Structure 1
């Protein structure tokens, strides 16, 4: 089943697949994130995960799918649009999906940009957990403000783009069938995925690991370990960035590393 997907830029441009984090609909890949890619003549693909946006929803706490299904959805986007291979950009949970997609379907991935995420390889161990001060944001009367306040503690000091997040949150609320279902991702994100899991198998694939020095969910050690687990991967540390999409002032430098390759 093809997830609800939007294609931006020229149809004949080299494809870049954007995979969002847990609870993210495609709205989080806003114009600030997509415009620098489109300006380079790339074809940008963004889609709704299950339980977000216009995708199918399940009751809160009872997802009718697994983590492997979320990986299959990313592949379904490429299949449904007739795309042989794409550069894949994944953030947080989306970074895990991107790794799994590359491990299971190497021929469909021309390169990886892994943002604010951690290794899916079970051999990578001993990493620190989230900042203990993190806690779920308050449930406010306004769902837009609930989303905004939920994102605020994840951003690095001075890196919270409040107006941008609020604009995204308005789109999320307007397009989502049931906001209470999105946390289902947390229940399936740790599901074991059948198939290869040794990240050293990605040697030779262009990989950039982008991690914030102030990430409270996956501290910087996660980014360092992920880059070390993939031979030849480049680590880009964004000073002061938290667990978030790189702020606008940092993003263009990140997307500059997205290089067209084979299809």
Structure 2
């Protein structure tokens, strides 16, 4: 897995591990901009999910990517960061939710005995609540890319994203089913009212499933890292660092 590290400001602030959206990578300008904004608040680990960028393998569109995120979190801890927050965009948002539900701290709520792969705070930006959503034109196009042989050829050539040809079996835990399993780890759900992929019932469903979570519905915000403003990135980073500390 391809990964990169930005040391951030001096001190012992938590590290932020950033999970990009589908067809992204750590080299994409939008993710580099987000990483630079986050680095003003803490150390940052970015990486490319399997099948994306220079990482090997093929994308499973959010299923086995949980293993990639767990490896990135463990690497952040191996670099000396005792506290780690995860921030995921779109597909990466679904991955941070599922990762937090599946990689829970040993002795939840206690600093002693924590596992290397868990997160101390979680931010899901522009994340879907449920699988197989086709209610918007961008998501119908994405399903064509993922599910059709020609679509996967187009993805490999145009998006530089290699997609696994096998369907999910079994279907992984959905984001909305994962959300209530995350507490007491702090969770922030961020979504834009101009999101062309997932309408507002997605973040509201996630928040309803996890009453302890914070929900930010951002006026004028579109979708994921490509649309995130500097102000929003700074606010997300401040929240993540504060809650993970």
The aligned residue for residue 130 of structure 1 is: 135
Judge conservation of contact 1:66–1:188 (CA < 8 Å) in 2: no
The aligned residue for residue 113 of structure 2 is: none
For these two proteins, the number of residue pairs brought into alignment is: 211
The aligned residue for residue 183 of structure 2 is: 203
Q: Deviations over 1:175-203 (max 9, x none)?
A: xx965551627976896227994532222
5+ residue gaps, structure 2, are: 106-117, 143-155
The aligned residue for residue 113 of structure 1 is: 123
User: After superposition, where does 1:34-183 map in structure 2 within 5 Å?
Assistant: 34-40=35-41, 42-58=42-58, 67-81=62-76, 82=78, 86-107=84-105, 108-119=118-129, 129-132=134-137, 136=141, 179=158, 182=161
Q: Distance in 2 between matches of 1:113 and 1:224?
A: 15
Task: Give the drift of 1:128.
Answer: 7.5
Q: Secondary structure at the match of 2:121?
A: strand
Task: Give the drift of 1:227.
Answer: 1.4
User: What TM-score do you get using the length of structure 1 for normalisation?
Assistant: 0.67
Q: Deviations over 1:153-175 (max 9, x none)?
A: xxxxxxxxxxxxxxxxxxxxxxx
Task: Give the drift of 1:35.
Answer: 2.5
Structure 1 segments of 4+ aligned residues over 3 angstroms from their partners: 10-13, 28-31, 65-68, 127-130, 132-137, 177-181, 185-191, 194-198, 260-263
User: What TM-score do you get using the length of structure 2 for normalisation?
Assistant: 0.71
Task: Give the drift of 1:72.
Answer: 0.7
5+ residue gaps, structure 1, are: 138-176
Q: Distance in 2 between matches of 1:187 and 1:241?
A: 34
Task: Give the drift of 1:247.
Answer: 2.4
Q: Distance in 2 between matches of 1:47 and 1:237?
A: 27
Q: Distance in 2 between matches of 1:36 and 1:209?
A: 19
